[in-house]
Every structure is written in C-alpha cells, then in structure tokens.
Structure 1
Amino acid sequence: MNIVAAQMPDLQAIVQIDSEMIGNTSRRNMIENAIKQKHCILVKENNEAAGFAIYDTNFFECTFISLVIVSPGKRRKGYASQLLNELVRTSPTEKVFSSANRSNLSMQKVFEANGFVESGIVENLDEGDPEIIYFQLK
C-alpha cells in the first residue's frame, strides 16, 4: 500500500473509482480541481489506484475531508483508514472534520475506529438521511 499526492495522470483512475460508487462521472471537475490544488491523495495497491480522499479548508477555516472513496473491490483492507490518517497527519489546520450519512454505517465505523467523534448533524442535505459531522484534533 502506498499513499501519494494525486497527480493529473491519475485523474482518469480516480474518476473511475468515483463512478463505481455514484454511477456517473459528475464529480470529474471537482476531482480535477482538487488534484490541481494538491487537495487529493491516492492510495495505490501494486501501483494501481485503490482509493482516494479529497479535502479543503473552507469549513470555518478548518480542514474538511469531503470524500473518502475506496474501490468496491478493494474494501475491507484498511485503505479508508490509511487515507483518513494521512489527511489528519498532514492537515494544514489543527481541527479536522468530515461527515457521513446516517445510513452509511460502514463509514461511521471507520471514523470511530480512527479517533473521530460525532460533532453534530446536518439535516436536509439528502432527503430523510441526515449527515453526521465527525471531528478530530490533529
């Protein structure tokens, strides 16, 4: 397993992983911008993309991890935890936030296993599926 800063040549592989999750490539521009801003990291297995994470610092001037996506065939190997831990370790801010839908029990377990604590709930983003905000100090 190897975690690296995503580069433009990685864009297509990252978009492919994302499209496996959401069924389309609608976030391509967002992913491309994150790579350009150096706000995207990639986990590789045998030199192939296995997952990625994107963050920004627009959440009350704190780091917010907006996406942690692992290819469906690569799950249950610790990649999401490795991505989270790397972003916390290298975070440009002391406070790190992220979120998961209430229905996303597997991601909630990943956050809790990696020292994140619940910090609040945001209603009305996804109809009937509130977003749980998680927090960790660097």
Structure 2
Amino acid sequence: MDIQNSGGILVRTAAPSDWTAIAGIDTIAAAGDPARRAAVRRWCEEGLVLVAEDPSGPLGYGVLEYTFFEQGFVTMLMVASGARRRGVGSLLLGAAGAACTAPKLFTSTNVSNLPMQRLLQREEWRAVGLLHGLDDGDPELFFLRPSARAGTGTAAGAGAGRA
C-alpha cells in the first residue's frame, strides 16, 4: 500500500529494516526505552506499521493490528515532534482505514492526550467507551471509526490511531 498526498508525503507499509529510523521519531523509543524499541522492531517485522515519510525521512507511523476482538485496532499513532500540525496524523489514520480488512476499526488514547482526541474528533471518530485501570489516574478513551468509512467489511474508505 502506497499513498502519497499533494505535499509529497508518502505513506507505505514499513519494511523490517525501517525499524531503527521509525524508533528514532518515537519519543519513548528515542529516549532509550528498550521495551518500546523492541515493540517497534517487532511491529515492523510483522508488517503492522504504516510509515509516513518525505525525502527527509519518517514523519510518523501507525500500527494496525487485529487483536481487539478480531477487529481493526490502531495500537499506536506517533508523529515526530517536528512534523506535527502538517496533516501527518490524518494521513496515517486514512491509510489505516484504507488498509483495515475488518468490519470495524478502533483506537484508544488517554484522557490526558487532548491533541489525539482533537485529531480523532476532526476525523469523525466516535467515543465509544472509557476504561479505568490501565494508567493510574489517566483513564483510556476508546474510539470507533465511522462505519461508512471503515475497511472492506462495510464500505470502502480511508482513515485511524493511539498516541
């Protein structure tokens, strides 16, 4: 899957060899967290990563899995700090929606993550649940992508994320 926007940003499925460059734009992995670095590597090796890039390198990435009740779930959505507010998150959500093969596509984010919540609202995702207990004092909000825009299980579309 390759999607290119008018601004020269390309979204494609990451290759296993892309993991170090992708980890370099992930704030947690770049800070040296070994678990996150291992997760980025595993996600790339399993073909789960959609990476947005321009000639300068990766700008952001999203992880699309099917481990949430066999529905699509954007496990991670990360945009490099220098690439924010350029539509990279929206482009990655669109690519995840286009790639999703399940009838429904979900994501989640912490209540404290207001930028991600605003992105999901702009992209017309609907809040569908709240879970306490994952992060102490910071509940997790779950979102569902509009079914008219979901993957091949309902209708064709493009759009998804967790930050």
TM-score for both structures, normalised by structure 1: 0.93
Are residues 122 and 22 of structure 1, via their aligned partners in 2, closer, same or farther at CA, if it must alter by over 3 Å?
Answer: farther
- Which AA in structure 2 matches 1:124? G
Kindly indicate which of the two structures has a greater share of residues assigned to strand.
1
SS of aligned partner of 1:124: coil
SS of aligned partner of 2:26: helix
Q: How does 1:12-27 map to 2 (within 5 A)?
A: 12-19=20-27, 23-25=31-33, 26-27=35-36
| Deviations 1:49-91 (CA, angstroms, capped at 9, x unpaired) | 1110012101011011010000001100010110011101110
Q: Does 1:4 align with 2:41?
A: no
- Which AA in structure 1 matches 2:45? K
Per-residue deviation at 1:21? 7.3
Q: Does 1:88 align with 2:100?
A: no
Q: Does 1:48 align with 2:60?
A: no
Could you tell me how far apart the structure 1 residues matched to 2:90 and 2:31 are?
A: 24
Q: Does 1:105 align with 2:114?
A: yes
Q: Which runs of 5+ in 1 are unaligned?
A: none
- Which AA in structure 2 matches 1:18? D
- Sequence identity, in percent? 27
SS of aligned partner of 2:61: strand
- Which AA in structure 2 matches 1:7? A
Q: Does 1:71 align with 2:114?
A: no
Are residues 12 and 19 of structure 1, via their aligned partners in 2, closer, same or farther at CA, if it must alter by over 3 Å?
Answer: same
Could you tell me how far apart the structure 2 residues matched to 1:121 and 1:4 are?
A: 31
Per-residue deviation at 1:125? 0.8
Do the aligned partners of 1:21 and 1:72 also contact (CA within 8 Å) in 2?
no
Do the aligned partners of 1:20 and 1:71 also contact (CA within 8 Å) in 2?
no
Are residues 20 and 75 of structure 1, via their aligned partners in 2, closer, same or farther at CA, if it must alter by over 3 Å?
Answer: farther
Give structure 1 regions of 4+ aligned residues with deviation exceeding 4 angstroms: none
Instruction: Answer with 11-20 or 81-90: which moved more.
Output: 11-20
- Which AA in structure 2 matches 1:100? T
Per-residue deviation at 1:33? 1.6
Per-residue deviation at 1:45? 1.8
Could you tell me how far apart the structure 2 residues matched to 1:95 and 1:86 are?
A: 14
